[in-house]
Amino acid sequence: MNILYSMIPIALAYSAPLVIAALGGLFSERSGIVNIALEGIMMVGGFTAASVTVALEPISPAAGYWGLLAGLLAGGGVTILWKQLSGGIFDLYEIVPGFAAGLAAIVVVSLAGAPPPKEIVEEFEAVARMPVD
């Protein structure tokens, strides 16, 4: 029972960003605007803030503030980009720009990272050569 009591404050602390995003979604829905990208915007801002903070930490004592500013600007930039993508095929279904952005992120990260080890490539090639019945 003590474990349950110790888990409640931790769960509340970790759920705070999602609760804030849910409240933002609630207010935007009440005004007539559907925004299903709130968590994605939070992830972009958080990743940018963390990356800038880690990159500037060795050279600037104000790295946290620069990271905060970069995260705010990145989140705002994604919001403006999403708004500019409205119209055409993006009015067809709201998931299309999110899928396109996710696919682009996968390609960029795959090309920017190191190639997979030779053993992994050989295993994939062996599986690809297997006969399919």
Domain ranges in the chain are 1-36
Phi, psi (degrees; rounded to nearest 5) at 69: -65, -45
CA 107 to each of CA 90, 113, 119: distance values in angstroms, whole numbers, following the listed order: 21, 10, 22
Indicate left, alpha or beta for 33 from its phi (over 0: left) and psi (-120 to 50: alpha): beta
pTM to 2 decimals? 0.62
What is the C-alpha end-to-end distance of the chain, expressed in Å?
A: 53
- Tell me how far apart the alpha carbons of residues 109 and 117 are, in angstroms, rounded to a whole number: 16
Tens-digit pLDDT string for the chain (133 aa)? 778 888 888 888 888 888 888 888 888 888 877 777 787 788 888 889 999 999 999 999 999 999 999 999 998 998 888 777 766 666 656 667 667 777 887 888 788 878 888 999 899 999 989 888 7
CA 60 to each of CA 51, 52, 64: distance values in angstroms, whole numbers, following the listed order: 14, 11, 9
pLDDT of residue 43: 83
